[in-house]
């Protein structure tokens, strides 16, 4: 089966179910609601593109990893893995296609959300009678895109490791919400860990992507933590997928 056809099948599977459709649609819906809320409630001085990007970015950071998780775990949670891997015996191609489609959906979603933020900034400036403020550079916007793709890949990693929708989603919220809090408290009270945190905490290393420009050391920290928290677990999860019995 050609890769293009396999990608179309995986993309259709993301939209076929009612829950999948509304999960995808929620990206645009929440982007519009966040933009409208910024226009209505933000003071005139806060009507800048950065404000709209920040408002839209929060729901994106939550939804995209869930999309990646569900794209992987559907073969086991919905018990259609036997059909999928019978039609396409090469499991590696299926997993690779799922990752490719998930990243593609993330990039398109972020482009749509960024466009909605642009329209919101123009509309808000027009309503306030001020000039639009574009305070997010192209480099910063690209780094924001990268941060969201990395978040999605973390969800994908948890999907291939756990292979069950609900536990993988719970694990993602523990990883993204509880773990940074615990490590942040440890860094606040232990000086030795404050210096070590950028080298062992993937969430912390990713926060530098939201700055205007990253230093060489910060890119190195992102690479080191990414290998530990993303690359190695993903490789282990894919290895398990390739060797596990499909029922």
User: What pLDDT, in 10s, does the model give residues 204-244?
Assistant: 999 888 876 788 889 999 999 999 999 999 999 999 888 87
Under a CB-based contact definition with an 8 Å cutoff, are residues 207 and 233 in contact?
no
Look up the domain containing 212 and give its range. Answer: 3-243
The per-residue pLDDT for 247 is: 66
Nearest to 167 by CA among 238, 72, 81: 72
pTM listed for this prediction: 0.88
Of 42-46, 49-53, 96-100, where does the model show the most confidence?
96-100
In the structure encoding, which two tokens stand for residue 231, read together? Answer: 């690359």
In the structure encoding, which two tokens stand for residue 225, read together? Answer: 């933590």
* 135 pLDDT tier (thresholds 50, 70, 90): confident
CA–CA separation, 110 and 56 (whole Å): 9
E strands present in the chain:
none
CA–CA separation, 220 and 237 (whole Å): 24
What's the structural domain count of the chain?
1
CA–CA separation, 175 and 161 (whole Å): 14
CA–CA separation, 104 and 3 (whole Å): 14
């Amino acid at each position: 089966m050609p890769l293009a056809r396999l990608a179309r099948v995986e993309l259709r599977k993301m939209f076929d179910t009612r829950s999948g459709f509304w999960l995808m649609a929620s990206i645009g819906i929440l982007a519009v609601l966040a933009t409208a809320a910024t226009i209505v409630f933000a003071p005139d001085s806060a009507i800048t593109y950065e404000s709209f990007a920040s408002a839209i970015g929060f729901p994106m950071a939550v939804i995209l990893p869930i999309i990646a998780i569900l794209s992987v775990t559907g073969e086991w949670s919905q018990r259609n893995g036997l059909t999928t891997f019978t039609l396409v015996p090469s499991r590696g191609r299926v997993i690779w296609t799922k990752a490719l489609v998930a990243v593609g959906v993330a990039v398109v979603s972020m482009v749509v959300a960024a466009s909605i933020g642009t329209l919101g900034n123009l509309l808000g400036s027009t309503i306030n009678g001020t000039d639009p403020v574009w305070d997010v550079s192209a480099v910063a916007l690209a780094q924001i895109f990268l941060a969201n793709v990395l978040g999605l890949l973390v969800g994908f990693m948890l999907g291939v490791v756990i292979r069950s929708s609900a536990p993988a989603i719970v694990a993602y919220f523990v990883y993204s919400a509880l773990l940074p809090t615990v490590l942040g408290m440890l860094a606040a009270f232990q000086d030795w860990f404050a210096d070590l945190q950028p080298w062992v905490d993937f969430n912390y290393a990713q926060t530098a992507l939201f700055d205007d420009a990253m230093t060489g050391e910060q890119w190195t920290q992102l690479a080191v933590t990414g290998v530990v928290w993303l690359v190695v677990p993903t490789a282990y999860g894919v290895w398990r997928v390739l060797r596990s019995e499909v029922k």
